[in-house]
Amino acid sequence: MRKGSTEGVQAAGTADGSPGTTTQGSSRTATPREQAPLIIEARGLVKRYGDFTAVAGIDFEVPRGEFFGLLGPNGAGKSSTIRMVSGVLPISGGELYVGGYDVHYQDREVKRLLGIVPQDDNLDQDLTVRRNLEVYARYYDIPKKVAAERIEEALELMQLEDWGGAQIDNLSGGMKRRLVIARALINDPDLLILDEPTTGLDPQARHLVWRKLRLLRERGVTILLTTHYMDEAEILCDRLIIMDRGQNIAEGNPRDLITRHVGREVLEVHPLPEERAAVLRDLEENVGESGRIETVEDVIYALGVTEEHHRRVEGLIADPYRVNFRRANLEDVFLSLTGRGLVE
């Protein structure tokens, strides 16, 4: 009790007697926050680590309210980009504005606008669920009363309202993820940044997280997402860029990207070793200029093909389950652009 009261004094003292939100609010009108329609603006953004260039001068813009994806194989520069946008990694070159603020000079202003969901759950193991959020709210100087309301709201939104008193160790992987998202919402962020938010979750937990993210988007939160799951990006993102070796190699909304880079349909063939040569020969002869043939290990992908090609290949393969004629998806775009081989 005594502890609590001294904290209250501290919080009130910092806000000069007036509630912290008012001070923040007035500084908002005096700052570009509401005026900047672009939440992220990157021009020629570069990150170097010694001789190694992780991000080689990329440009991208994210308008307010968009669900924006950042895809790419490991080592493409996604994490460096996301960490620069978060204001935790100094940029090596170019320009980067978040909410109209220069991340380089106005790191604190930038961070006040952001909610960060990192790859690893870095929750405070020693504190309970609710205490985690309370301690986090203090880093933003959110007055206790406001924080208490937001905490209940965030817990409810993430379906954790019955777990406020629980220890972190007792939460499942999916609950920890949701708690990290709840934590990122404590400062009512303009931009929510999620770094591979569903990695390691079971399918049910993934779907729940997706639902929550869509809900947040409907509420007007701008979201920046990185992921390795193409279905996730396809389902969630309004627009995305694909990065490879530090470059921005494709940009657009998922459907356009698919049509533009792989066409409507894909023929995926898993031939037996003795069938492989015949299938490849047939496809090479019949898939014209408009299509493309790619192989990954023992799988053959034919892009820009028609039902006709499908029927021809089916005649060459004994087991019909080894031929799959399907709608093209984002994974085909991704593999087609970043190479179907393993990137190490």
Partner 1 sequence: MSMTAGTGERTHAPRPRRPRGELPYIGLAIPGRLTFRVWQRNRDVFFQLWRAELLPPLLEPLVTLLGLGLGLGAFVQLGGDIEYVQFLAPGILVAFPMFVATFEALYGAYFRMTQHGTYDAIAATPVRPEEIVAGEIAWAASRMTLNTALIALVLLVLTPWLDLVGSPLIIFTIPIAFVTGVLIGSIGIAFTSRARSVSQLSYFFSLFILPMFWFSGGFFPIDELPGWAGTVAWFFPLTHAVDLSRALVTGDVYAGLIVNMLWLILAAIPAFWLGLAAMKQRIVK
Residues lying near partner 1 in the complex (CB under 8 A) are found at: 3, 7, 10, 14, 29-32, 35-38, 41, 86, 88-92, 97, 100-102, 104-108, 111-112, 114, 116, 118, 120-127, 131, 135-136, 138-141, 187
β-sheet bridge partners, residue 56: 46
Residue 97 CA to residue 305 CA, distance in Å, equals: 43
CA-nearest of 152, 158, 168, 155 to 210 is 158
- Closest distance between partner 1 and the C-beta of residue 304, in Å? 39
Count of other CB atoms within 10 angstroms of residue 34: 12
- Closest distance between partner 1 and the C-beta of residue 212, in Å? 19
Residue 186 CA to residue 146 CA, distance in Å, equals: 10
> For residues 185 and 287, which CB has a smaller minimum distance to partner 1 in the complex?
185
**DSSP string of 200-251, one letter each residue:** T--HHHHHHHHHHHHHHHHTT-EEEEE-S-HHHHHHH-SEEEEEETTEEEEE
> For residues 139 and 290, which CB has a smaller minimum distance to partner 1 in the complex?
139
> For residues 45 and 209, which CB has a smaller minimum distance to partner 1 in the complex?
45
Instruction: Return the residue matching tokens 């990006």.
Output: 233
- Closest distance between partner 1 and the C-beta of residue 98, in Å? 12
* Cα→Cα distances 277→268, 272, 310, Å: 15, 10, 16
> For residues 195 and 234, which CB has a smaller minimum distance to partner 1 in the complex?
195
> For residues 223 and 230, which CB has a smaller minimum distance to partner 1 in the complex?
223
Contact of 99 with 253, CB cutoff 8 Å: no
Residue 224 CA to residue 216 CA, distance in Å, equals: 12
- Closest distance between partner 1 and the C-beta of residue 205, in Å? 20
> For residues 92 and 306, which CB has a smaller minimum distance to partner 1 in the complex?
92
> For residues 126 and 274, which CB has a smaller minimum distance to partner 1 in the complex?
126
Type and span of the H or E element at 266: strand 265-269
- Closest distance between partner 1 and the C-beta of residue 127, in Å? 6
The strand pair at 67-71 and 222-226 is best described as: parallel
- Closest distance between partner 1 and the C-beta of residue 100, in Å? 5
Three-class SS string for 156-172? HHCCCHHHCCCEHHHCC
Type and span of the H or E element at 111: helix 107-113
- Closest distance between partner 1 and the C-beta of residue 164, in Å? 15
- Closest distance between partner 1 and the C-beta of residue 208, in Å? 23
Instruction: Return the residue matching tokens 């968009």.
Output: 66
- Closest distance between partner 1 and the C-beta of residue 108, in Å? 5
CA-nearest of 70, 36, 77 to 238 is 70
> For residues 139 and 256, which CB has a smaller minimum distance to partner 1 in the complex?
139
> For residues 108 and 327, which CB has a smaller minimum distance to partner 1 in the complex?
108
